[in-house]
Chains A and B, each alone.
Chain A
Amino acid sequence: MIRLRWGDGVVVALATALVTTSFALSYAPAAGPTHLVVTQAGTEPRHYPLNESRTIRVQGVAGITEIEIQSGRARCLRSPGSRGICEAAGWLERPGDMAVSLPNRLTLQVQGPQRRFDSMHY
């Protein structure tokens, strides 16, 4: 007959808790985006944290692209291009969400700790 001592139970409970926690940490769904990456032809990619509300103006070949960061997300507020494609992308709020201004040759992408896509096709 096996007799368990209270210490045995504590060890097993701790080990189970550790495994469960690490499993949850490893396979939990990706968290929200943490920063905005602005890539523009001819310049180094620029990173902006999403936890600081601000408006960014980027000068491009066709004019100024205005970007708004607010409440952990970002959007293309105004950009050259009569079709409003950059603005139509709306709020970028999930890792990998992207807006593109082809006239200004720049891309806006929000990224998180885990990348949703390896590459964006457009």
Chain B
Amino acid sequence: MTRSPLHPRLRAATGMLLLLLLALTGCDRTPETDRLTFQAFGTLVDITVYPGGVHDLTRIESKLSEDLEGMHSAWHAWEPGSLGRTNQLLATGGEFSAPPSVLPLIEYAQELEQKTNGLFNPALGRLIAAWGFHQDEAAGPPPDADRLDALLADPPRMSDIERRGVRLRGQHPDLQLDFGGMAKGFAVAHSLDLLTDLGVEHAIVNAGGDLMTRGRPGDRAWRIGVRDPLGKGVLASIELGSGEALFTSGDYERGYEWEGERIHHVIDPRSGRPSRGLVAATVLHGDAALADAAATTLMIAGPEDWPLYARRLGVARALVVLPDGSVELTPEMVPRVELRGEVIHRIRAAEPGVGANPP
């Protein structure tokens, strides 16, 4: 009888250890993802897809880029396109058929304007243009007091668009649509749909820092770093599941200096001037267009009223950054965000029944 060099128990133990070793070498610490970066929709677009190495990245970039450029052209606030034609027709006061690419934005904007009592108002394109933002590189001079008074005397609202099915009619001569506060949300959501059509089930579409997820990278959540709007590295990290959008509106995005004052692109319809009191407002929501519009609205609402407007819009998860670098966030946002250690933060909840001053 041949004697085994190892006792059976030891042989079993060694085998188990080797199996464990094989299992460990086979498992991947983080699922591999592929990344694409390109210019479209007037900004830097960053696509993350999972798993890596299986998708046709050239085709994805080509299709997404073409689609995003189409939307950018259709919704551009001052260059010729579907929105430009719509603005021309609205100004005539006559009835016309809305371009299919623009109608969903008009419908949604009317709903949001109503919910925010006019604080979110994409009908104020003429006011935005007066501040020098209807050009590639924003520039002054800002409107003087007389010009502002004239623009604010009887400002147009989204409700000045009469809508019967696809037929529209403008009811205000100064009405000029500018969807800068929500178009990117529509575009990001649409890009995710296109990725699904292209066979990508797990992805992040990030357009100029605003993003939305679909699917998951394996059995973990997507890890998102939130850059500090005051430039001090990473402010926070957030883990996102499938179908979550993270949008921020900030005073650092577009703007210029004029006589020592920072003129940024988020214009408050109440004062007709750039919003004050908040550096940035971030919204986490399942609807990218709403997240985009809500971030703009909270930025305009300011440090006192932002929780109230978040509630009005049905946004449970939001945070804002104040000029001193401190952060305020909703109670529902607290478990979702991990703030950098030294960041001072406060929890703010809207008190039911408290009303804000209408614009």
Binding site for B on A (CB under 8 A): 2, 4-5, 7-8, 11-12, 15-16, 18-19, 22-23, 26-27, 39-42, 45, 61-62, 82-90, 92, 96-100, 102, 105, 107, 114-122
- Contact in complex: B231, A42 (CB < 8 Å): no
Pairs across A and B, CB under 8 Å, 17 listed:
A12-B14, A15-B17, A18-B18, A19-B24, A22-B21, A41-B39, A86-B231, A88-B231, A89-B228, A90-B232, A99-B231, A119-B204, A120-B227, A121-B248, A122-B226, A122-B227, A122-B229
- Contact in complex: A41, B21 (CB < 8 Å): no
- Contact in complex: B231, A120 (CB < 8 Å): no
The smallest C-beta distance from B48 to any residue of chain A, in angstroms, reads 5
Taking CB atoms and an 8 Å cut-off, the chain B residues in 123-180 that contact chain A are 137
Binding site for A on B (CB under 8 A): 5-7, 9-10, 13-14, 17-18, 20-21, 24-25, 27, 29-30, 33, 37, 39, 43-44, 46, 48, 137, 204, 206, 209-211, 217, 222-234, 237-238, 246, 248, 252-254, 257, 262, 282
- Contact in complex: B21, A8 (CB < 8 Å): no
Known A-B contacts: A4-B7, A27-B29, A62-B137. Give 16 more (CB < 8 A). Answer: A2-B7, A5-B5, A16-B17, A82-B257, A83-B262, A89-B231, A100-B227, A105-B43, A116-B223, A117-B225, A118-B204, A119-B211, A119-B222, A121-B206, A121-B224, A121-B225
Out of B20, B210, B233, name the residue touching A97 (CB < 8 Å): B233
- Contact in complex: B246, A121 (CB < 8 Å): yes
- Contact in complex: A96, B262 (CB < 8 Å): no
Out of B217, B226, B227, B252, name the residue touching A118 (CB < 8 Å): B217
- Contact in complex: A22, B44 (CB < 8 Å): no
In the complex, A66 Cα to B231 Cα: how many Å?
Answer: 16
- Contact in complex: A8, B17 (CB < 8 Å): no
The smallest C-beta distance from B186 to any residue of chain A, in angstroms, reads 18
Residues of A within 8 A of B246 (CB): 121
In the complex, A40 Cα to B44 Cα: how many Å?
Answer: 7
